[in-house]
Structure 1
């Protein structure tokens, strides 16, 4: 090998950072043969030096900012996490020095990606963030390179393994959300504060990145409507099964003449569609291009080894000299597109009511739907319990969301309705 080694400094030695160090060590010969040069670790930074990682002879820093400023490296790998703070500081320092950056930090890319890409372009560095979306799934490379001959009209997927694990376990066990969440926290699948995952924020960060890549537009996190899974009950999951669906937390973005619509929400996915069968902590992403049609990528969405695999994929591109603009086109070519009206969104819907078992209830509900021109498709009601509320489940044909929400507001105002849950149906 005649080429000099690719010199790598890594900031953050937690789960993903440790996995990356281990992969670089264990696969050193394989990586060198494929890259035509060695990938050499020349610096590592963390608050405490881990004793279980192969870091002998590697300069160690307890301050990642010092390493980013003073260490002699070609590429800095940022695996600290967080949208700002030290993670953003070290990335900016590296880029300002004209170095390249590889990161798994979806929050930082979602909030500051365009700014960082602009610095990289101005200073001659490059940014890789394959590991920021989908763990080991090569979706960034797919959108930025593999589908570059297509106008992408839609991208959607299961982007959060924690939520998918919770929903899968609820279905398999029949237990309710709070119980399964507590178990997921005990097993380490969910954080002590799970808000980031279960309220859809993590999925929104990832979707914002995909939207920019798919539609060549600046990242606009604020334009993504976000709804989590707290309100999904075991009862809803049982009815979904009966109706031929699985409930999944989806990130969905589409482009039309009306503009771009990007949303995160729990949806009923038909069993005939591949996403319905993605279980546990796995992720899956669907794209639709005008020439290639539909593609589906599935794999482990998190964890030390899958995410480290994605980090090293970016390092291999840099080692080979294969680089692309951060978002597929130069920053100045990213064009803002109008946001499509959420009220104009068309979907079928699942509605679950808890109603008092008394005469006239259904007539009132039907009238609210009729007045908003929402057409019922099917109804499920079983048994009677005069002293209690009983579930009534219905699905409605595709309608615009504004009409559906007006009908829902009227139904909720009925004295006979104790609870109402609304879930979109993705008829894919």
Structure 2
């Protein structure tokens, strides 16, 4: 059964730039992109010029370790206050925004911009919270981001929350109603970002239906049947697909703020709720691609024997074969090296998805072989080319079924790093909406 305890969402009062603002200059890509390409951000700065822009409200992480970061942060906080005081930003009534983003594919990404409750989110390993990250959170990345949030009066979201709704009942039907809704933005996005359109849906019967649909993802009987699990596995209606370190920073900030509040004040404080885009993992625009592994500085036979020994010590049956067996329950990894090709087969795997099986063993191997090195490659052809050089060995990871992403988190906890790729850098979220985080 679902209960109010399973309600993780909150209908926010969203801020958008006033009418007449050049939205193509206002909207800027997520600050954690192009971190090794300062020229991208220099070009963005030239494009924006003196126009109102989210560039002036965020700190691109390419600058995060520069000497003037404190000065940049203070300027951001000042600009936030100015944009509110001079009317650059206007506050909409409580509601959500339906957003549709074309970024070069054959179909758009469709989502709902709303707020989620940080009390329902944890990023620590082993967490059973209803909102959890898909990949490990690097806690060392939080403090420098926290300094930007401290002293800020608003937030701008680039967090994407994924839901697993294979029947497309929650988000997709809303886009049949857009002709009856107020269009609040419709603009091209700079630097090859495509085009984005947003429609406002005021708080009311329709948002109640949205929240009820999201709460239904917590129905225990349906959840167990979907993932083949029991009540021993924690419910997972929401998985953080992008922007987890931003969400972790928001959580750390909220923990600071709530320490000085009464229970009554905590219940409604704006810093408790973080603005996100909720997207169905079955949205046709989301292409979930495997990320392959290449090892450098290894002896082929030693590596393969080391991995098979590791799996056998874990209670699995593992062996090397010339071709994949018919057993569809085994985890099978084609490999290629200059002196050998074949498949690594792991039967009775203790991990629910193949990438966890592979990465856990590789981590153990690398810990004991400091001279070896690993890289993560998107194209299988690139892996095979690199593997032709002596001392290299590449593993090809299988395709990932979309609901396997959730299943992996449900059974194994957070997924191994570099589990999957979900869109290129230019497809990442652009800042558009804002929300206050202070009383």
TM-based fold match above 0.5: no
Structure with bigger helix share is 1
What TM-score does the superposition give when structure 1 sets the normalisation length? Answer: 0.31
What TM-score does the superposition give when structure 2 sets the normalisation length? Answer: 0.30
